[in-house]
Structure 1
Amino acid sequence: MKNYYYLLTLLCFITGSVNAQISIEGEVTNTEGDPILGANVLLTEANGTMTNNEGTYRFTNVKIGEYVLKVSFLGFKPQEKKILVKQNKDMKFDFVLTTSSEQLQEVEITGRKEKSYKNNVTFAATKTATAIKDIPQAVSYVTKEVFADQQAYRVNDIVKNISGVNTYSYYDDFTFRGFRSGDTYINGLRVVGLFGPEPLLANIERVEVIKGPASAMFGNSIPGGIMNRVTKKPLTKESKAINFTLGSFNTLRTTADFTGAINEKKTLLYRLNLAYENSDSFRNIQEYKSYVIAPSISFLPTSKTRINFDLVITNFDGKLDRGQPIFGATSGSDIYATPISFAIGATNDYHQSDVVYSTLSLSHQFSDKLSFNASYIKYLFDEDLQEHRTSNQFAIDGSGNSIPTSMGMMVIKRQGQTIADNLSSYFVYKENTGTLEHKIVAGVDYNQQKSPIGNAQSIASGYLLQGGGASSSAADFSNFQLDANGNPIPNVPHFDLQTPTYSIAQFNDYIYDESVTNPTKYFTYGFYVQDQIKWNKFQLLLGGRQEYYNDIENYDQTNEKVTTQHKFLPRVGMVYAATSNINVYGTYTESFQPQGVASLNNPQAGGPFDPVNAFMLETGAKGEFFNKRLSANLALYFIENNNILVNANDTSNPDLLIQRGQEQSKGVELDVNGRILPNLSITANYAYNEAIITESDNASEVGEYKENAPLHQGGIFGKYTFIGGQFKGIGLTLGSNFVGKRNTREATLQLPSYMVVDAGVSYKVDKFNIQCLVNNIGDKTHWVGGYSYTRLYPGKPRNFLLSVGYTF
């Protein structure tokens, strides 16, 4: 009996050991002892959790065995511990995470690993990998995670998330702090400003806007800021994702994103982004067909050398939407006179374009102190356009009076190519002099843009002449052919705004003015030096650039002539670490925009003219909160823009120009991005911008707000994900954005203010993610931008997008 008792006791002990309810718990803090909320804790690949408000975590029902306990959090160095669970005893493991300040690249060659609305580093603002909070200038951004949650497909879909940026038209066309956008930048390199198809986001990691004058880094640029699009780069970790989307307006889209290592040593990485779209629009006879093929390769032969190559092939096939016309052209005209779906055109109009660009980047570390960095991009844009569009004026009757219900029309046929090349190269040298830490950048860059031989267009417009031909000149009014009602006969039939019809146009029936576009080219080069000096809690940025802008008249012809304009561009900024998580800053910088060569070299224009130039004073604060999960940037600024070139309106000399006028922009901006809780992400922005004309020969203009520059605008978007219980995996999104009243180019036409609300729900289970988003829930009629009575740009009515994604 005694032996049986011992055997039973032994069996109970063994059974208890096997089925022991062992738990592992601990606390995760930073080096200052503060708990870190939302840190990722992995016991196995399939068993993970997050720390709570007290920074603690807990695993239960852990079996006996060996494990690797891993802890990671954005902005901190990850840690791991090997643990052995060998007896029925609870275990405790604490972690103290240190801030990660390691920057392995000065040129962005390998991809961003974070998966958050928050971005920590920018490369374009200073030519070096610098924390955004350490840059003495406002830098706003939108990450691909926001793209995904808002189901955004084009750049125009996401600018609502950036303070101080407003849509001007349906094209790649915006205002920054009240100033209309100019050139486009990809990976910090200037390319062709398309002013046409909206750029797609399928291969874009993030969109960032460097606010205010950026000429000290990029040369000639507008005073409001520049938009930089950063392409996705390869990751060392294997990842594959596909997504299918359908929605309103017969929208069909699909995207794919594959990345990982090609070899075992992970010295050769790849990424491939693919996208295709076939959809209509809420606008009449408009349609979109497009695709993107974007492979990227990163080669890391040593720890000191990194090389990346991107190739992006994009095709657009649709129509160029010139906007919505409305009745009349006088004060009090009803902006709601025509439906927002109303568009002008013919059924067989088309706009086909191809964009191909490739980027090659190199980063080499000679020593701990010295590195060399270079990037080169070649950008090609091919266009084939055939369209009916408004002539920007209403039809006229036999007395020369406007007919407010009938639109004058014109036809444009255009084929051409534009090519851009941009090379940026610089050295970075790090050195300490006493208690001062220096990061010195010295470099040179070269940019050129040209339109080669072969570009041409044909334009049909105006009214038929009695002796043959056509004219748009009022001086020929008495010679216009007249119809049975005594009204001039148009070369291109007028468009009836009351009873619109869309047909297959006979393009050969029109009379065209044929024109060959002369080859054009401009090139710029600049030399710059910059020093980022750190002392105690202070950081000083001192920079200067000597810029040379060269415009070629009659390019590639025997009478070729080069006109050079140049300017020195300073940049000074100071950052002070007021607390451990808040920096305050101030900056002074300038911008430079050369005058066009046609104006400079036209003796009738009255030149020579000085370049347009501006300066900015800005101050603000940048903070990181909730254990660095959330960033908030506040900026106050003043910009003055001078030497604006306008027509003198001299009847005896229509080419005469005068250089006068001044514009000022001042305001305050706030951007918030990141996570408040581990499962609550948010992006919010607000801007108060007073962009006005302060000097003008036309007294009525003084004090007027600039066009498409609202006084108030802002928005908020958030996503809450359930991480436990029966709703686990369900995500809820809610957002709203508002824009105040805006002036247009017509003194009597103002766009009304608006606010729209979007909401959605998603469900993530295993590797599937299903999303449904409803935009403009209230079906608010609104206009995102506009030129005049003939060209307004309405926003989308209520619409939905439904997508299914799979990650493997």
Structure 2
Amino acid sequence: MSQRTLPPFNPFCLTVFAVAMSASPWCAAESAIDFAIPAAPLADALLQFSETSGTKVFFSSQLAGKLRGNAVQGRFTPQQALDKLLSGSGLTTQTAADGTVTLEKSAKPTEPQSAAGTTTLPSVTVLGKTLSDPNDPYNSDYRPPNASAATKTDTPIMDTPVSIQVVPRAVMNDQKTTTIKDALENVSSIRPQSSLGLSNAYIVRGFRNGRVYRNGLVANGLGIGEGAQFDSANLERVEVLKGPAAVLFGRIEPGGLINLVTKKPRDEAYYSVEQRFGAYDFYRTEWDATGPLTGDKSLSYRFSGAYQNNKSFRDFNFNDRVLVNPSVTWRPSDATEMSLELEALHEDYQVDRGLFAIGNRPAPIPVSRSFIDPNDPVDTNSKVNLGFNLSHAFNDKWTLRNRFLASFIYDKNTSVKPANGFTVEQFFDPSTGNRRYARNIFSQTSDNETYTTNLDLTGKFKLLGVNHQTLIGVDYLRAVGRYEFYGNYQDPVPGLDIDIYNPQYGIDPSYYANALATPSDDGANHYLFRDDWYGAYFQDHITLWDKVHILGGGRYDWARTGLGIGNSASAADAALPSRRDEGFSPRVGVLYQPWAWASIYGNWTTSFGANNGITASGATINPEIGEQYEAGVKTEFFDQRLSTTLAYYHLTKENLMTRDFNSPDPFASAAIGKARSQGIELDMAGRLTDEISIIGNYAFTDARITKDFSGLQGNRLNNVPEHSGSLWLKYDIHHYEPLNGLSFGLGMFAAGQRQGDNDNTFALPGYARLDAFASYTYQLGKSRLITQFNIRNLLDKTYYESTDPFQNAPPRVGIYPGAPLTAMGTVRLEF
């Protein structure tokens, strides 16, 4: 039986793990052993190591302090397992003749030896922070310490005077998310805003953001469609940088930046395969394989992906999706690293036209009811991302990084839809008691390609006794989007009207043939979108007295945008206008850390976003300008296991572009004028104990139109609840032998009432959704088997997630409901 003892003397206080010892010393115990140690506080991780290996480990209680041990999963020799557990901790091991092991700080002077041959350590103070590897596939921590891709530096979140939240892989595994929409429910002030049921755009701090970044570069194009789904199978984490991020990333909405960090090749072998099955004929297979390709580990690979096939709680909807993500990394020297990665996704699906509003509420019909048709042709979309990354360290202070990403996205869909679909006219027939509405058939194709790259030089130096971390960079983006559509999107087609309370389905295929042969909008059905964007930026992070952090920087942009319209692709190209804009975006932030566990910060920042759209008269639109003031407090409680951020912000945006509801042209835009969003956010993530993990948030958001040419002043921005939040708790049993390996969790996700459109003509009711899961981990030799059961919407509540942002329909005829009670089982093998 193992026990933990504390010798009664001080300051030479040693913690000793006394376990039953093998007769052989450490040096003779080189056979491999199966380890299953999760990432945990160092003292607890070492206790589990000693229990598994039968080896005494001596260390100073103060030396262990607040350090955390890395996860050790698999078959290793004791020496290999201990090295992995301590990796990055700044600690080394000393082995005595009797096989006992003593920990000490790296590069410390030799200590006097005791008669027993073990080192006696004085009490020490551990400076700095030791962090477990956030990319370790066995890491179960809910609190990643930094978000390097979102800030472009390795500065800890606690030292950065902006609000940053991270959803790690561990949370996605526990909640069994399949797209980033579900992962982002764990972050304050983020709301999904789908179009045609695809999870491809979000509202952040009140403002819609149709661009998602991938490893710091734009991952979807522009124009209609905004790209395919973002599957979670190849993601390491999702980062959210709140507020205007244009100073580092260029054209981005002022609400914030969503950045996806993909899985990278590792130099340690790891393999996993997972099978999920659930309600509505849901089947999903995920895989992940990584490891070295050469003996010196200079070349490594990773191949992850997923295949998913499912129906839906919505009538006639389905999804058949495959994702593959191969990548390789080459490290020719300790200073240089190059990686090449390919992401390819293809899916066949059926668009979801959603439900509609009657009066000021969603229509009182089942959320399963769909008003597309079972004879609608199968829709398809695909994307390919090709990325290259290079980093070279000139020395331990200066590093040069280059990123490149080419993105190709194609989507084609055809569906029956409400007539007058691009206006706000009444589409119900009053003579039928508002129970029948007219429909037509519409088909659209979008083809987007985006090329983006940047070059960053980062350095650390001391000037006049002051520490600096400097970033200088340039970037370039070129995006081209082609779009064409067919069918009569405006006028009703005789014979296609439908009774919303007693629908009859089965449209004759000839209707589709006629629609696809009819160019819409008098033949001007080809659109060409184009962006060219150059940017130069700088940033300096100054640290004074190890307590004050000053972040300053700015960016200058040169942008050229255009939108051409014609009756063919060549005509649209010839009609492409060109508008040039340029502007400077500064940012400054200050953070004061009076105690190691608390930081107080504030920032002021602006953003510049060229508008790629035209008004009904054909005029271009002035650039969008964003400005934000923010103040907040960051804390780390429970021995730095739990981090929290409390923030207040005031954010304004001028020349807010939206669809012109008064124009028959579905692509005519108008500038609302000015909108303001202000609110309070609370985010938390980490561990309360080594067995209880938590991630949660709350947001109070007041987002309104403050200046508008058509009289919308004072209206709330659509789909933004005044109150929203979530709380997810997980309990892992580690210290009760009969139940070790059992985990279970419970989560609540809630949002208050939201306006369905900017005219505030109807509202979506508030809701609270309850989710739960339980899992059990079995150790099978050097492998482990995990079984898990998840339930989403445990109480089977009816709720509505969002409305269409007038991307493919007016909000009143594009209301997207949430799923009812949904169960999912999972079996996962790791080896």
Task: Quote the residue 1:680 is aligned against.
Answer: 692
- The answer to whether 1:706 aligns with 2:734 is no
CA distance 1:131–1:775, shift in 2 (3 Å): same
CA distance 1:753–1:559, shift in 2 (3 Å): closer
- AA paired with 2:438? G
Greater shift, 498-507 or 229-238, is seen at 498-507
- The answer to whether 1:786 aligns with 2:803 is yes
Whole-angstrom CA distance in 2 between matches of 1:146 and 1:371: 32
Greater shift, 752-761 or 405-414, is seen at 405-414
* Alignment equivalent of 2:775, drawn from 762, 766, 781: 762
Task: Quote the residue 2:478 is aligned against.
Answer: 448
- AA paired with 1:371? T
Task: Quote the residue 2:384 is aligned against.
Answer: 356
Greater shift, 645-654 or 236-245, is seen at 645-654
* Alignment equivalent of 1:591, drawn from 604, 607, 623: 607
Task: Quote the residue 1:283 is aligned against.
Answer: 314
Greater shift, 139-148 or 342-351, is seen at 342-351
CA distance 1:35–1:568, shift in 2 (3 Å): farther
> How many Å apart are 1:102 and its aligned residue?
9.1
1:102-131 superposed Cα distances (whole Å, 9 cap, x missing partner):
9999xx9x8788442111121233322221
- The answer to whether 1:741 aligns with 2:784 is no
Task: Quote the residue 2:651 is aligned against.
Answer: 639
1:551-590, aligned counterparts within 5 Å?
551-554=561-564, 557=573, 561-590=577-606
Contact 1:78 1:97 in 2 (8 A): no
Unaligned runs of 5+ in 1: 1-20, 463-471, 473-488
Contact 2:528 2:576 in 1 (8 A): no
> How many Å apart are 1:336 and its aligned residue?
5.3
Whole-angstrom CA distance in 2 between matches of 1:36 and 1:608: 73
1:664-723 superposed Cα distances (whole Å, 9 cap, x missing partner):
111111111112221221111111111112233455x33322110001111111211112
Whole-angstrom CA distance in 1 between matches of 2:139 and 2:153: 19
Whole-angstrom CA distance in 2 between matches of 1:502 and 1:64: 71
Task: Quote the residue 2:556 is aligned against.
Answer: 546
- AA paired with 1:426? D
> How many Å apart are 1:447 and its aligned residue?
0.3
- The answer to whether 1:407 aligns with 2:437 is yes
Whole-angstrom CA distance in 2 between matches of 1:62 and 1:520: 63
Equivalent residues, number: 740
Task: Quote the residue 1:476 is aligned against.
Answer: none
Q: Secondary structure at the match of 1:761?
A: strand
Task: Quote the residue 2:149 is aligned against.
Answer: 124
Contact 1:70 1:78 in 2 (8 A): no
Task: Quote the residue 1:187 is aligned against.
Answer: 215
- AA paired with 2:477? N
1:67-82, aligned counterparts within 5 Å?
68=79, 70=82, 72=85, 76-82=89-95
Whole-angstrom CA distance in 1 between matches of 2:467 and 2:355: 57
Whole-angstrom CA distance in 1 between matches of 2:255 and 2:227: 21
1:508-565 superposed Cα distances (whole Å, 9 cap, x missing partner):
2447235552443211011111111111111111111001110145597556543211
Contact 1:75 1:99 in 2 (8 A): no
Contact 2:788 2:825 in 1 (8 A): yes
Q: Secondary structure at the match of 1:85?
A: coil
Task: Quote the residue 1:344 is aligned against.
Answer: 371
Whole-angstrom CA distance in 2 between matches of 1:762 and 1:574: 43
Task: Quote the residue 1:722 is aligned against.
Answer: 733
Contact 2:803 2:814 in 1 (8 A): yes
> How many Å apart are 1:134 and its aligned residue?
1.8
TM-score by length of 2: 0.81
Whole-angstrom CA distance in 1 between matches of 2:558 and 2:646: 34
CA distance 1:608–1:47, shift in 2 (3 Å): closer
Greater shift, 208-217 or 701-710, is seen at 701-710
> How many Å apart are 1:97 and its aligned residue?
8.7
- The answer to whether 1:165 aligns with 2:190 is yes
* Alignment equivalent of 1:512, drawn from 509, 515, 518: 518
Whole-angstrom CA distance in 1 between matches of 2:750 and 2:2: 53
Task: Quote the residue 2:266 is aligned against.
Answer: 235
Contact 2:90 2:130 in 1 (8 A): no
Q: Secondary structure at the match of 1:292?
A: strand
CA distance 1:491–1:364, shift in 2 (3 Å): farther
> How many Å apart are 1:729 and its aligned residue?
1.2
* Alignment equivalent of 1:498, drawn from 501, 514, 521: 501
Whole-angstrom CA distance in 1 between matches of 2:120 and 2:281: 55
CA distance 1:136–1:732, shift in 2 (3 Å): same
Whole-angstrom CA distance in 2 between matches of 1:81 and 1:354: 55
> How many Å apart are 1:35 and its aligned residue?
10
Contact 1:394 1:404 in 2 (8 A): no
- AA paired with 1:695? K
CA distance 1:196–1:85, shift in 2 (3 Å): same
CA distance 1:649–1:244, shift in 2 (3 Å): closer
CA distance 1:319–1:538, shift in 2 (3 Å): same
Whole-angstrom CA distance in 2 between matches of 1:654 and 1:258: 46
Contact 1:35 1:54 in 2 (8 A): no
- The answer to whether 1:207 aligns with 2:238 is yes
Contact 1:759 1:775 in 2 (8 A): yes
Contact 1:24 1:92 in 2 (8 A): no
- The answer to whether 1:317 aligns with 2:348 is yes
Task: Quote the residue 2:305 is aligned against.
Answer: 274
Whole-angstrom CA distance in 1 between matches of 2:452 and 2:826: 38
* Alignment equivalent of 1:532, drawn from 531, 541, 562: 541
- The answer to whether 1:457 aligns with 2:488 is no
Whole-angstrom CA distance in 2 between matches of 1:202 and 1:646: 33
- The answer to whether 1:252 aligns with 2:268 is no
> How many Å apart are 1:155 and its aligned residue?
1.2
CA distance 1:340–1:160, shift in 2 (3 Å): same
1:721-780 superposed Cα distances (whole Å, 9 cap, x missing partner):
112221121111111111011001153311111111111211111111000011111111
CA distance 1:727–1:64, shift in 2 (3 Å): closer
CA distance 1:223–1:763, shift in 2 (3 Å): same
1:137-193 superposed Cα distances (whole Å, 9 cap, x missing partner):
111121111111001111112221010101223331221111111212111101325
* Alignment equivalent of 1:620, drawn from 607, 626, 632: 632
1:48-100 superposed Cα distances (whole Å, 9 cap, x missing partner):
7776999994857986999648384798435434244379x999987969567
Q: Secondary structure at the match of 2:365?
A: coil
* Alignment equivalent of 1:378, drawn from 406, 409, 413: 406
Whole-angstrom CA distance in 2 between matches of 1:61 and 1:213: 49
Contact 1:685 1:715 in 2 (8 A): yes
Whole-angstrom CA distance in 2 between matches of 1:158 and 1:144: 9
Task: Quote the residue 2:158 is aligned against.
Answer: 133
Whole-angstrom CA distance in 2 between matches of 1:120 and 1:442: 24
Task: Quote the residue 2:251 is aligned against.
Answer: 220
Whole-angstrom CA distance in 2 between matches of 1:657 and 1:807: 51
Q: Secondary structure at the match of 1:527?
A: strand
Contact 2:244 2:605 in 1 (8 A): yes
CA distance 1:102–1:447, shift in 2 (3 Å): farther
Whole-angstrom CA distance in 1 between matches of 2:597 and 2:393: 31
1:200-219 superposed Cα distances (whole Å, 9 cap, x missing partner):
10001111111111111111
1:329-372 superposed Cα distances (whole Å, 9 cap, x missing partner):
x34x5x35110001111213222011111110000011233221
**Larger-Rg structure:** 1
Greater shift, 380-389 or 707-716, is seen at 380-389
Task: Quote the residue 2:68 is aligned against.
Answer: none
Whole-angstrom CA distance in 2 between matches of 1:458 and 1:702: 36
Q: Secondary structure at the match of 2:171?
A: helix
Whole-angstrom CA distance in 2 between matches of 1:99 and 1:192: 42
Unaligned runs of 5+ in 2: 18-25, 57-76, 101-115, 805-810
> How many Å apart are 1:33 and its aligned residue?
10
